[in-house]
Amino acid sequence: MLNLRLAQSHGGADNINRCFPAIELVSTSGQMRYLFLFLALPALLLAQNPDIERLGQELTSPQVSIRRQAVIALGRASYPQSVHLLLNTLPNENNVSIRLEVIRSLRHIAFQRFPGYKQALQALGRAADDGFEKDQLVRLRASEALWEAAKKDLLDPVPFLNRNLLDQSQRLRLSAVQMLRKLGTSSTIDPLGRAALDKQQSETIRLKAIEAIGAVSLSDPGVVGRQIAANNRRTTQVLGQPPLIDQNSIERRHFRQIFYLSSIVRDTDNSPTLMLRAIKSMGLVKDKSAIAALQETINNHPSTTVRKQATRVLSHLLARQYE
């Protein structure tokens, strides 16, 4: 059992340790004693803080409770040296609950933007990789932490979600599809499209990816809007000024959605369920670029059910053009 008590750091020429309070963790046997620093100004810490190093030593303790407290303390110390120690703990720690505690500590460092938060995000990225971490739950919690970090504008979530689409766990692959759907930007279309076309994926994953493609709502400036954007970019380039309008404004944003969905329908090896879902998603995209693909399906597809679904969606899409 361990007792926590407030103490004043003492000894040596370390002025920082004399100026800030610390918490001293003492075992009841009296044989273990070390300091964890909860400093108000972590930036003042030295490059290699001896107290942080002492905590690192306790990560190899035979007692699970001591290792857990050391992990929590390193997370609260929130220092780049802490991140390094926590990351090194993951592949060597056999107890899943401790590895989950490591993820929570890294998440705390990243979300509070403490010194070392960028390294903490990199560590979470490795923990979400099935080539580094074998436990599914640990990878899932690391992925969730990265997703939450993305919502705080700490990183771009698409690269790690794209990687998770190849994870050995179907649960994580499904979670990646759901997160890409929630993100709903133009950069999510290609990862979702590849997952929808990938016959190595389960039908459930492919079906969810097809649904997600249709659910991504993208505004399109139309022919006139794209021309105005292109003219603006040419003018600012001549003037040597940064463009006011992003390059993405010129792209035909729905083209890739319709491309992936129509590819699903054209492949007769796909199940009727996938084809029908793809046609329905075309209707949800609500762009006239789907008209040609739907007409081709009506004229050439061997399945009567698929042709009927394409006819219904096409009629709704044409009616919308004249609203």
Q: Checking phi first, is residue 251 left (phi over 0); if not, alpha (psi -120 to 50) or beta?
A: beta
Is the confidence at residue 321, as pLDDT, over 50? yes
Q: What is the mean pLDDT of residues 148-161?
A: 86
Domain ranges of the chain: 1-142
Q: Tell me, what's the pLDDT at 123?
A: 86
- The answer for residues whose C-beta is within 8 angstroms of residue 6's C-beta and 6 or more apart is 21, 23, 24
Residue 300 to residue 268: CA distance in whole angstroms: 11
Q: Give the whole-number percent of the chain exceeding pLDDT 70.
A: 75
Residue 106 to residue 138: CA distance in whole angstroms: 12
- Report which DSSP code applies to 43: G
Q: What is the mean pLDDT of residues 281-306?
A: 87
* CB neighbour class for 119 (10 Å; exposed up to 12, middle 13-18, buried from 19): buried
Residue 105 to residue 89: CA distance in whole angstroms: 12
Is pTM beyond 0.95? Reply is no
Q: Which pLDDT tens digit goes with each residue over 30-82?
A: 334 433 333 333 443 334 577 787 888 888 888 999 999 989 988 888 777 88
Q: Tell me, what's the pLDDT at 244?
A: 59
Phi first, then psi, for residue 34 (nearest 5°) are: -155, 165
Q: Which pLDDT tens digit goes with each residue over 90-130?
A: 888 889 999 999 999 999 888 888 877 888 888 888 888 88
Residue 275 to residue 314: CA distance in whole angstroms: 15
Degrees (nearest 5) of the Cα angle 269, 271, 275? Answer: 100
Instruction: Check residues 224 and 155 and name the one with the higher pLDDT.
Output: 155
Count of residues in the chain: 323
Instruction: Check residues 289 and 31 and name the one with the higher pLDDT.
Output: 289
Q: Tell me, what's the pLDDT at 39?
A: 36
Q: Give the closest residue to 258 by CA, choosing from 250, 266, 270.
A: 266
Q: What is the mean pLDDT of residues 155-176?
A: 90
SS3 of residue 33 by DSSP: strand
